[in-house]
Structure 1
Amino acid sequence: MELPIGRGLDHGLDCIARRNLTIENNQYEVEFWLNEITTDDLYNDTGIYLYMSTDQVRYYINKEHVDLVDVPAIIFSETMRDVDLFVGVASVGNDPEWSDNGGLPQHRDYWQSYSFGDLTEVAKTRKTILKSLLPRLKIKEVAKIEGKFLIVKGTLRTYKIHIGSTNILMEPNDEYLCIVPSGKKDVTEKIFLPFEGDKGLSVILSKAFLLAEDKKIIDSTITSQINRN
């Protein structure tokens, strides 16, 4: 399982990411279809489009297209994990400024759904881990899990961190709080995280620790939002 999914065409036009696997003398090829979004000529200086939309996943056995029910469970499981990682990392839902920065209006519903919608299977696993971690953290008295959110009660506000997207809403009116990672030392680096590779879990904990002591925050881009009437 060493070959990465993501062998699309460099120009971004109608890409098909492919992965080849061999199991029990059968050759499997998996295709993940992608399409460029050409709205407003959104591409960089090298001509590569900035945004892509995802489409279908197709499976072939020995060059023959097969129905999903005929795909071995291990092939399906591994390739779906690749697709999930691709979407999880590349999604515009990860951009905390998407809804306010003039991003494509027709995709704002997707951003909202991704940011605060139902939890994916990966996020459900993250939630389970958070439930076991929370009683051992110093913020345990001011943090709790409710549905798809980690609720953190600060001095100034109460915050709802979405366990899937890591985006934040502030009570009482569910105002959106934009916190962009600074690239500084991660405050959770000394905390053992039992789900290796889940950066989202680390981000959630970092935000929770920060907001639990919201009165100590000095970053004006954050305090101006928290103190907004």
Structure 2
Amino acid sequence: MLTYETLKKKNRLEREGFEEGLRLRVHRALSWLQRAEQEKDDSDAAFVFLWIAFNAAYAEERGAERTGERSAYTDYFARLVRLDTQGRIYDAVWQRFTGPVRMIVDSKYVFQPFWAHHNRVPGNEDWDRRFQRSRTQVMRAMEERDTLTVLTAVFDRLYVLRNQLVHGGATWDGKVNRDQVKGGAKIVGFLIPLFLDLMMDHPDEPWGDPFYPVVR
């Protein structure tokens, strides 16, 4: 398993060959990864810190043509999957974390249409049918080694979990969402270092300009 220390050593050796945007992304993401690794007994804090690391790695300044966050991380995943010629992301999702992935995908509590219907948002009366269809699509994608579809679906669910935590929609160390938080932290905690490793392996890719560059 990749850790902050192993990635930090790699970064020190290779960062001179990185363009400034990538250098800043990796530096910021590693700082939050280091912080997340300190939270051995607090899955809520670990998950939040890991999500910040994820944002540091992928969030891109697109000027007036900004797209939604889902579109941005889907584009990011597509690039990573293309670069991942050894199938390390697939192996992590399908072999190492099959249980947590299935648990996240099977939980209606991290499926946004469920909450939209619960909050009486029109157009979500069929949330259960959409939920079952989504589960079926993910299972089929896993069987067909469609890593991009699986990865996007899992992070769609985790984004709902992220919103629950960041926007005060959950209790710290609460009992009602323990499985999702613990499983989510395990998945993201393994994948984020892998994403950063792939980025450093491919410094010539156009990773884009990060938000809030250093301005002196």
TM-score by length of 2: 0.30
Higher relative contact order (CA 8 A, sep 6+): 2
Report the structure, 1 or 2, having the larger helix content.
2
Report the structure, 1 or 2, having the larger strand content.
1
Q: Which has the larger radius of gyration?
A: 1
TM-score by length of 1: 0.29
